[in-house]
Chains A and B, each alone.
Chain A
Amino acid sequence: MLAFIIRRLGQALLVLMAVGFVSFAMFKFMGDPVENMLGQEATAADRAELEERLGLNDPIVVQYVRFFGRALSGDFGVSYRVGLPVGEVIMDRLPATLELAFLSGVIAMTLGFFLGVYTAIRRDGYVANFIMTASLIGVSLPTFLIGVFLIWLFAVNLGWLPSFGRGDTGSLFGVDLAILTWSGFKSMILPAITLGLYQMTLIMRLVRSEMLEVLRADYIRFARARGLSQKTINFGHAMKNTLVPVITVTGLQFGSIVAFAIITESVFQWPGVGLLFINAVNFVDIPVMSAYLLLVAVIFVTINLIVDLLYFTIDPRLSVSNN
């Protein structure tokens, strides 16, 4: 088990170094930072002096190692646009994205799982068929359209929920969270649904097909032949057996929720890292972009690691055969 974790951590580090190289390369290929920093009236001497000071004359490998080392200690340089350290800028925005992703992830997973199990058990029911058909909408409509539609319905016409922004925030352990206040929570509902809808329908359809597969298995038939109640069979035997593939996909989906909150955050003007990234792209704020890239990689790698560890707790065949 421990060896497995260490091996996985090693692999995670390799992935991060590769992604780090890409974000490092952004500095090299997207515009000239020296030009940006000095402005047009700089002399050649100023240029040379700054290049020397920034270490741009060192071999590329040295520069990369220096970049990666700094990134590890949380130093991503200074944002071109706001002139603040990138680490600070991102940490300022990250709670907003994480709480939004968390809420929509919870909605997507619980609802998706529940509906998936329901539609599998009531395979031929009218409600189940209706849910299945409706889920096609969730799968096929683009996120921004759903967001705009929700704003039109709930914010513009019904006026129940705010159409943009994050509302008031409350503080917990020094982190500002919107979910702690009523106005913040209300502001979160629409973006959370928008962000989670696709994930929810995906999880639901996956859970349903896995569940149908498991319900055909011999051990379910044998369980029925032993007179176990349908409830025990559905929830005690079948559901757990659907979990391994479902967790894999769900984990990756949660990563996507964080990483691709960009669209939802721009539709709802949610002040998270996604919106920060979009603005950074507009201003060619390369330090922010490269730090964002690394952040997303870290999130994906972490979730993958957690998913791998969850397998062990669900499926005893993995842990026992390893001993």
Chain B
Amino acid sequence: MTDTPLLKVSDLIVEFPTRNGILRPVDRVSFEVRAGEILGLVGESGAGKSMCGSAIIGLIDRPGRISGGEIRLDGERIDNLPEERLRRIRGKKIAMVFQDPLTSLNPLMTVGQQLIQTIRTHLPLSQAEARARAIALLEEVGIPAASTRIDAYPHQFSGGMRQRVVISLALAAEPELIIADEPTTALDVSVQAQIMALLKRLCRERGTAVILITHDMGVIAESTDRVAVLYAGRIAEIGPTRDVLSAPSHPYTVGLMASTPSATGTMHTLSQIPGAMPNLRAIPKGCAFNPRCEKGFAPCFKDIPVLEPVNESEVACWLYDPAYEAKAKEASGASE
């Protein structure tokens, strides 16, 4: 595609000043999302995936802040906008769906009140028109008897139904991008697939792009067009989901795939990546993955690798650096 991407994140850095120094949960992350595309952000807890989502929608809790890089939506820079202009973008152009539908809705307001309020914040509609639109939205996300259920309170819905309501709230003003932060993690397994299918269908119909934040490789495989694998605040590998999952390049992605059971694929013995992701306070010098990497060699312990194209994807690993490729082969050959 040659047109400008819907969302372009370049060299994004998020920092949290703490008593023991500055932490960087997101470190020089760059990616693009095209209109209508579903991008997955995958990684372990603390890899910085949720923080990326919060940064894009401008909801990083103080004292955290975006300290570097830029975020562009439709070519317009949004990371440095004043709060009031950012607020107009939230919900209208970028919406967010959170993990826990049980706590995402205000318990003291009916579902309808919350929907109508959101609709009227962004669209010039009368109360009656907004209500009609709210009912239509609820019907669209599959709430039965929407015209009566609209006056129910959140606690009168089941978990799955509530997440449908949350999705309808996110879609209320027809955003161009939805950031879905673990949208199915808190749900029953049987409901998870329904909610993902719903989210996918609605976004395809409207051409809404989605950033899907999850740690579930299964969800990534089923739902996303492209995927970015995050490790310790950096992108380790990014590319078309098919390529990244079937032929992972970064040793971390390889390990991740080897440790994921597949429902349809061939049987394989599950293995685990030894060790744990480093604490943000103690990220090792060089590649952050080096203490756990089987293929580590000299440059991995010195310098931080940058994303380089490998086949269809981009990978941040010294193994694929042209200058080291020959040596790397040697090193991996020696270890086998």
Contact = CB atoms under 8 A, between A and B. Distances in A.
Nearest to A232: B117
B108 A229 contact: no
Contact of A240 (B92, B108, B110, B155): B108
Interface string B151-169: 0010110000000001001
B109 interface: yes
A53 interface: no
Interface in B104-162: 104-110, 117-118, 121-122, 153, 155-156
Contact of B170 (A226, A229, A240): A226
A306 to B, nearest CB: 20
Given A232-B121, A241-B107, A226 B91 contact: yes
Nearest to B106: A219
A51 to B, nearest CB: 61
A219 B105 contact: yes
Interface string A223-245: 11111111010001100110000
What is the predominant secondary structure among interface residues of chain A facing chain B?
Answer: helix
A217 B118 contact: no
B96 interface: yes
B90 interface: yes
A222 B108 contact: no
Interface string B288-312: 0000000000000000000000000
Given A218-B98, A222-B166, A226-B91, 4 more contacts: A224-B87, A230-B87, A232-B117, A320-B156
B87 A227 contact: yes
A279 to B, nearest CB: 47
B32 interface: no
A221 interface: yes
B155 A225 contact: no
B121 A228 contact: yes
A226 B89 CA distance: 9
A46 interface: no
B95 interface: yes
15 contacts: A221-B59, A224-B90, A225-B95, A226-B118, A226-B169, A226-B172, A227-B90, A227-B92, A228-B87, A237-B106, A241-B106, A315-B107, A316-B155, A317-B107, A317-B155
B211 interface: no
B86 to A, nearest CB: 9
A219 B104 contact: yes
B90 A222 contact: no
Interface string B218-261: 00000000000000000000000000000000000000000000
A314 interface: yes
Given A219-B103, A225-B96, A320 B155 contact: yes
Contacts of A227: 87-92, 118, 121-122, 173
Contact of B59 (A224, A236, A241): A224
A236 B110 CA distance: 13
Nearest to B169: A226
B216 interface: no
Nearest to B155: A317
Contacts of A226: 90-91, 95-96, 118, 121, 169-170, 172
Interface residues of B, number: 33
A141 to B, nearest CB: 34
Nearest to B89: A227
Given A241-B106, A241-B107, A228 B95 contact: no
A240 B106 CA distance: 10
Contacts of A315: 107-108
Interface string A195-223: 00000000000000000000001110111
A247 to B, nearest CB: 13
Contacts of A225: 57, 59, 90-91, 95-96, 98
B100 interface: yes
A43 B202 CA distance: 99
Nearest to A317: B155
B100 A218 contact: yes
Among A236, A314, A316: residue with most chain B CB under 10 A: A316
Contact of A241 (B95, B100, B108): B108
Given A221-B59, A316-B153, A320-B153, A228 B107 contact: no
A222 B104 contact: yes
A229 B121 contact: yes
B128 to A, nearest CB: 20
Nearest to A316: B153
A237 B104 contact: no
The 8 lowest CB-CB distance pairs between A and B, nearest first, are A227-B91, A227-B90, A218-B103, A225-B96, A226-B91, A222-B104, A219-B106, A316-B153
Nearest to B94: A225
Contacts of A229: 87, 121
A78 B106 CA distance: 56
Among A218, A236, A314: residue with most chain B CB under 10 A: A218
A232 B120 CA distance: 12
Contacts of B106: 219, 223, 237, 241
Among A223, A228, A314: residue with most chain B CB under 10 A: A223
A228 B108 CA distance: 17
Contacts of B166: 222
Contacts of A228: 87, 91, 117-118, 121
A317 B92 CA distance: 31
Contacts of B92: 227
Contacts of B57: 225
Contacts of A219: 103-107
B66 to A, nearest CB: 16
Contacts of B107: 219, 241, 315-317
Given A222-B166, A226-B121, A226-B169, A316 B98 contact: no
A221 to B, nearest CB: 7
